[in-house]
Structure 1
């Protein structure tokens, strides 16, 4: 038996923002979080939230480690089959759904956006970890064998001392560093760090401005580099052109809005700053191979 539900059966209380279902942490924790943090056995968490399987967003950071079990989950419309030692991270705002079997085991951690605000001089430092990039390709991975024992030790201690918030913050940061170490490319010096910083700033600018800035040259100007330099960096480190990254962010937001049925195609075109429905439809179909209405229908079928 799986934790599943038809898309139409959205019955639990939701916090609504721009017609997108956003789940607040208080909805999923049953008052168990401590100062904006929840650390819990995954089977217990799923048992309490067994109806939370329709597409939704969170207003908090969320990550899960699977130590056993099967099933699938999706983040921003990319689906993954569960395997032991898989871990996924989600930033606030990403769309998520799951279909887990009942033999699932592992850990879940949720923490609020401001969890590190008074603890770090630069709270945004957390966003420097690759798995909080907002790019799905960085957020789902299998923990390498040599890091598993250390990871379990950290999570077990967090579970036992979740009410000690300073200990929890230090432990979480250490856990992030352990995981980042296995994913980071070999250091090639200051120039590499500079380039990664530029790309991170580019991605942050896209996130803030994708509704109104569509051209790589506009972002290059904000970064004080040439469009050719920006494009070369994006291709070298991410495998996509700068224009593709901008386009993909617009398409992702369009997909997110399309899964909400009372948001018309006209509403979405206006929300994303397109001049008219026809231009938006052509843009979306060129990127996905489907019209907005066709994409919406495929999502309804998928969640029945």
Structure 2
């Protein structure tokens, strides 16, 4: 996936359907693959759920590759880099929607709102038996309403989308993790994750984020470890390294340029930082993953 330009996708580039003004689109997978020309590497400015009924080939998301099998759903967050390999005719759908559309009918419920539910959502699920029937039924109801354009279709579609997402979470076995945390701690975890996503290039220490949250570094580290099972510093480092992997695999930027892009003063510091996490230098990682 090296040395290929990443194409930035927006909903306007993918659909001319009249209801696109709502910030959502539903395409067949064949239509989606045709519009993106199959070949290439993409980064979405929207959420995407790929619902595969019958498809061959594989889907690579960031540095992970998945063989496509029937009744598998994939969830992609904003700005994740992905590509398709060896896909032929593909039966299924691409459900695409923006954060603003998902929050069109806003709720403070932490299981539903986008900055909590969609940040922690499982990247894929494989459905069987009753769960398969139930999830597909939710999607069919959503699709039917979306294309109806009846009065209040936007409001009803937004609510049905939330139902679809909740069932996705249910079948990915995430419910216990979402429901058992205290509101205050959950809010801090969410705020921390959001701050890391925004500031990881400039801020790389737990104390920097603790200061922004007006809590002590020790307390921040304690609640992150309690909630996510890893220290706060590891969350920060994972985000920096993930972006480094994206740049190494999907751009032609030099190691020095990537170092500066990620906020390091020199490539030596960046190299040590990256190697401590991945076990190889940035250049070695790039060469090993060129195929």
Equivalence map 1:50-69=2 (5 Å): 51-69=37-55
**Secondary structure, counterpart of 1:83 in structure 2:** coil
Q: Tell me, in whole angstroms, the C-alpha distance in 1 between the residues paired with 2:175 and 2:42.
A: 30
- Aligned counterpart, 1:175: 164
2:195 corresponds, among 205, 208, 212, to 205
Gap regions ≥5 residues in structure 1: 1-5, 11-19
- Aligned counterpart, 1:251: 241
**Secondary structure, counterpart of 1:97 in structure 2:** strand
C-alpha spacing 1:51/1:188, structure 2 compared with 1 (3 Å): closer
C-alpha spacing 1:9/1:276, structure 2 compared with 1 (3 Å): closer
C-alpha spacing 1:174/1:194, structure 2 compared with 1 (3 Å): same
The C-alpha deviation readout for 1:167-192, integer Å capped at 9, x for no partner, is 22111011112222342117776x53
Q: What displacement does 1:206 show?
A: 0.6
- Aligned counterpart, 2:29: 42
**Secondary structure, counterpart of 1:106 in structure 2:** strand
Residue 264 in structure 1 maps to residue 254 in structure 2: yes
Q: Tell me, in whole angstroms, the C-alpha distance in 1 between the residues paired with 2:86 and 2:139.
A: 21
- Aligned counterpart, 1:161: 145
- How many residue pairs match? The answer is 281
Gap regions ≥5 residues in structure 2: none
Larger RCO, structures 1/2 (Cα 8 Å, 6+ apart)? 2
Equivalence map 1:232-243=2 (5 Å): 232-243=222-233
**TM-score in terms of structure 1 length:** 0.80
Q: What displacement does 1:45 show?
A: 2.8
**Secondary structure, counterpart of 1:274 in structure 2:** coil
- Aligned counterpart, 1:138: 122
Contact 2:4 2:250 in 1 (8 A): no
2:12 corresponds, among 16, 19, 26, to 26
**Secondary structure, counterpart of 1:275 in structure 2:** coil
Equivalence map 1:6-21=2 (5 Å): 20-21=6-7
Q: What displacement does 1:242 show?
A: 1.2
**Secondary structure, counterpart of 1:235 in structure 2:** helix
Q: Tell me, in whole angstroms, the C-alpha distance in 2 between the residues paired with 1:147 and 1:159.
A: 18
Q: What displacement does 1:106 show?
A: 2.2
RMSD value, Cα: 2.9
Contact 1:39 1:158 in 2 (8 A): no
**Secondary structure, counterpart of 1:205 in structure 2:** helix
Equivalence map 1:66-77=2 (5 Å): 66-77=52-63
Q: Tell me, in whole angstroms, the C-alpha distance in 1 between the residues paired with 2:125 and 2:226.
A: 22
- Aligned counterpart, 1:15: none
